[in-house]
Each structure stands twice: as structure tokens, then as C-alpha cells.
């Protein structure tokens, strides 16, 4: 326990220009990579910036590295996101804007049709999206329209059209060479392509912004599915997917009331709350807090697991964490095989002691 306390004390975890409308053919210097961008509250999402980072590594060394980011929607939020995207990463060559109410919500059918339309005009070599619910929904459908096979959950790019992706719940890595026709379509795990602070702040000049000509955008794709509503909890919790610190609880916490210990510790460390599937299925927390193969994939600087046995499905969602701390009373729990620091102890004794002795995050 003293080793764990000393580690936590020493760590730092507590501390536009516009261009003309796009015509039927794009300039060849913008024909390398198309990144499907997600935006929220006037900001390009961090996962999309990770997709840009991956795109910067996917280009052949002899090619000019040109990356276009596609944003769609309507209204003031879109315009703010466009301005943000144009200055968000030095590798972005231009921002494409599809401004229409038909794309106000990220439905797969109209978005796939949009990607098909832009690919026909631009002839991109790569189309990349983050492996988020948006990317997993849109990219396969767009790939079907373009008659190519997508490569999903890429965690590394070893060379031109040579990719690494996990298989068997993350217990093995598979190297895949794409030999099909263009475009090569990928979804990438954003946690595997972090954007450095220097990259995010080194964009000195805004990238050009181009409005997509939607005069031939097919109406057939609109109406096959219908946006109903978007619900989210009114909470000040740190976002699980992008948190620097994640505190996760398992079924050993026994009840939703006991799970509040995890929430209190996360608040004290300025981290996000995570849970195993067993804890979610038991009704301790909402399912959006699930970490694992069928939940969120996270890679924080500090991952603390309390009462987590370490099933392979859970490990698949957190094994890329920089530092893993595990507390479990079962010394043979599989979680200890991946943990950097392990403590065999009763979580109901350890968590209250941590809450008492750790300083609050300022």
C-alpha cells in the first residue's frame, strides 16, 4: 500500500481562408487522403485528429502528403468546427465542408453517399475514419458503395498499405497488406495514434476551406433511416475516451452504492470512471462506462482497476494504458499479468484509505 501511495504522490496525474466551390475534379495535390471528421459543440473531435495523425503516416514516402478533412452538417456549430479544423493540425491540407440539413445528423446512409460522391470526384488513395460508433457505422457502408474491402481497428501503420490490427480480443496482432483498388479504407483506434501537444499547436496558418458541390447529391440515401433523438447524461464527468486517468470498478464492488467509492476516487484524481461488463450487466453503472472489447477502448496515462479480474475482453480495451495499477484480493487474478503495480488486498479497505490520504486534484 505504501508503494502505491508513493507512486501516486510522485506522478503528475494529480496536477480560415475560403476557396472556390469544388468542381467535378479536384486538384491532384489534394487526392491523397480523405479523413472523415466528427465534430461536436463547434470542435473537431480528438478522435478525428488521431485519424489525421494516422493519415500522415499512411502516405508513401515518395508522395506529397496531402490530407483533406471532410466535415458535414449545418448551422453555427458546423462553421465553428470548420474554423477549428483548419487550424488544428499541421498535416491538414484543406477542409471540405458539406453544408446541408440532410447531413445534420450522422446517419450512415447519407454520409456513405457523400463519401461515394467525393471519392468519385477526388480519386483519393486513402479514406480514414476513427473506429468510433460514427466511423464503424459509415465507413463499411461507404466501402460497399465503392466496392472495396475496408481494414478495421488499425493500431499501427508499418509501411505503405501495410497495417497492424488486433485479433482474438487483442491477444494477437495481425499484419495486413492492402492489395486492392483505391481507395484503401481504414478505421483506426484513436488511442494508438495520439496527437502530441506540439502538433496540435504548431499550425501557423489556417488550411484552405472548400465548399462541396452538393448539386448531384442523391436524395435516395435520405430517408432510409430516421434520426429520433440524442440523449446524454447532464454530468460534469471527465470523458472516458480521452481521459488521462481512468478509475475502473468490477463486479467485486457488489452494488451501485459501493460503486460510488470509484466515482469519489475518480473525482479526487481528476479522472474518468470506467466499469467492467459484469459491473454494467449487474446494473451498478450505465453501459457507456464499460471498458473492453464491446465497450470503450482507452489508453490513459494511469489506469486503476479495483476488483477487476482481468477477462480478455476487458484487457482488450485497456492494455495500451501507460501505467496500470490493479487492486484485487485474488492473487491469481489475470489482471496482475498486465499490471505495472499490483496490490493483493481488500478494495473496501484500500479505496477509503486512498480517499483519505490522496490530495484532491486542484
Cell of 167: 485479433
Nearest CA-CA partner of 214 in 22, 17, 28, 18: 22
Tell me the pairing of strands 162-167 and 172-177: antiparallel
CA distance linking residue 228 with residue 219, whole number of Å: 19
pLDDT at 31: 42
Nearest CA-CA partner of 274 in 302, 299, 250, 254: 250
**Measured torsion, CA atoms of residues 218, 224, 229, 233, in degrees rounded to the nearest 10:** -90
Q: Is the pLDDT of residue 353 over 80?
A: yes
DSSP single-letter state for residue 5:
H
Q: Enumerate the known binding-site residues for FAD.
A: 251, 276-277, 290-294, 307-314, 328, 346-347
Q: Enumerate the known binding-site residues.
A: 251, 276-277, 290-294, 307-314, 328, 346-347
CB burial readout 173-200, b (16+ within 10 A) else e: eeebebeeebbbbbbbbbbbbebeeebe
HEC string of 133-158 equals HHHHHHHHHHHHHHCCCCEEEECEEE
In this prediction, residues 61-67 reach a mean pLDDT of: 68
pLDDT at 319: 87
Beta bridge partners of 186: 128, 151
Task: Give every CB contact of residue 260 below 8 A, 6+ residues apart in sequence.
Answer: none
Beta bridge partners of 98: 72
Check: CB of residue 165 under 8 Å from CB of residue 155: yes
| Tens digits of residue pLDDT in 272-300 | 999 999 999 999 999 989 999 888 889 89
| Tens digits of residue pLDDT in 168-218 | 877 788 999 999 998 999 999 988 898 876 555 556 688 999 999 988 887
Q: Is the pLDDT of residue 29 over 50?
A: no
Amino acid at each position: 500500500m505504501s508503494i502505491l501511495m508513493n507512486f501516486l504522490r510522485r506522478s503528475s496525474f494529480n496536477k480560415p481562408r475560403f476557396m472556390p466551390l469544388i468542381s467535378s475534379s479536384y486538384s491532384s495535390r489534394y487526392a491523397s487522403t480523405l479523413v472523415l471528421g466528427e465534430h461536436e459543440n463547434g470542435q473537431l473531435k480528438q478522435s478525428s485528429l488521431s485519424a489525421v495523425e494516422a493519415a500522415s503516416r499512411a502516405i508513401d514516402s515518395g508522395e506529397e502528403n496531402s490530407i483533406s478533412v471532410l466535415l458535414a452538417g449545418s448551422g453555427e456549430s458546423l462553421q465553428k468546427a470548420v474554423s477549428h479544423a483548419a487550424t488544428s493540425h499541421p498535416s491538414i491540407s484543406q477542409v471540405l465542408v458539406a453544408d446541408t440539413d440532410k447531413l445534420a445528423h450522422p446517419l450512415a446512409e447519407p454520409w456513405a453517399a457523400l463519401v461515394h460522391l467525393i471519392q468519385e470526384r477526388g480519386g483519393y488513395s486513402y479514406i480514414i475514419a476513427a473506429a468510433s460508433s460514427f466511423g464503424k457505422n459509415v465507413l463499411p457502408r461507404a466501402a460497399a458503395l465503392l466496392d472495396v474491402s475496408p481494414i478495421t481497428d488499425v493500431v499501427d501503420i508499418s509501411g505503405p498499405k501495410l497495417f497492424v490490427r488486433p485479433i482474438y480480443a487483442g491477444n494477437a496482432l495481425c499484419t495486413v497488406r492492402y492489395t486492392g483498388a483505391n481507395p484503401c479504407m481504414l478505421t483506426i483506434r484513436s488511442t494508438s495514434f495520439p496527437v502530441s501537444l506540439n502538433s496540435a499547436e504548431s499550425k501557423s496558418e489556417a488550411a484552405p476551406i472548400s465548399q462541396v458541390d452538393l448539386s448531384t447529391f442523391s436524395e435516395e440515401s435520405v430517408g432510409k433511416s430516421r434520426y429520433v433523438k440524442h440523449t446524454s447524461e447532464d454530468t460534469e464527468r471527465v470523458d472516458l475516451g480521452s481521459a488521462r486517468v481512468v478509475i475502473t470498478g468490477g463486479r467485486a464492488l457488489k452494488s451501485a452504492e459501493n460503486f460510488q467509492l470509484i466515482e469519489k476516487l475518480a473525482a479526487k484524481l481528476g479522472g474518468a470512471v470506467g466499469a467492467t461488463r459484469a459491473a454494467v450487466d449487474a446494473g451498478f453503472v450505465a453501459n457507456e462506462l464499460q471498458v473492453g472489447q464491446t465497450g470503450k477502448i482507452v489508453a490513459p496515462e494511469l489506469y486503476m482497476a479495483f476488483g477487476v479480474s482481468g477477462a480478455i475482453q476487458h484487457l482488450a480495451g485497456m492494455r495500451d494504458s501507460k501505467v496500470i495499477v490493479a487492486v484485487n484480493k485474488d492473487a491469481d487474478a489475470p489482471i496482475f499479468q498486465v499490471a505495472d503495480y499490483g496490490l493483493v488486498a481488500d478494495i473496501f479497505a484500500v479505496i477509503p484509505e486512498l480517499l483519505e490520504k490522496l490530495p484532491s486534484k486542484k
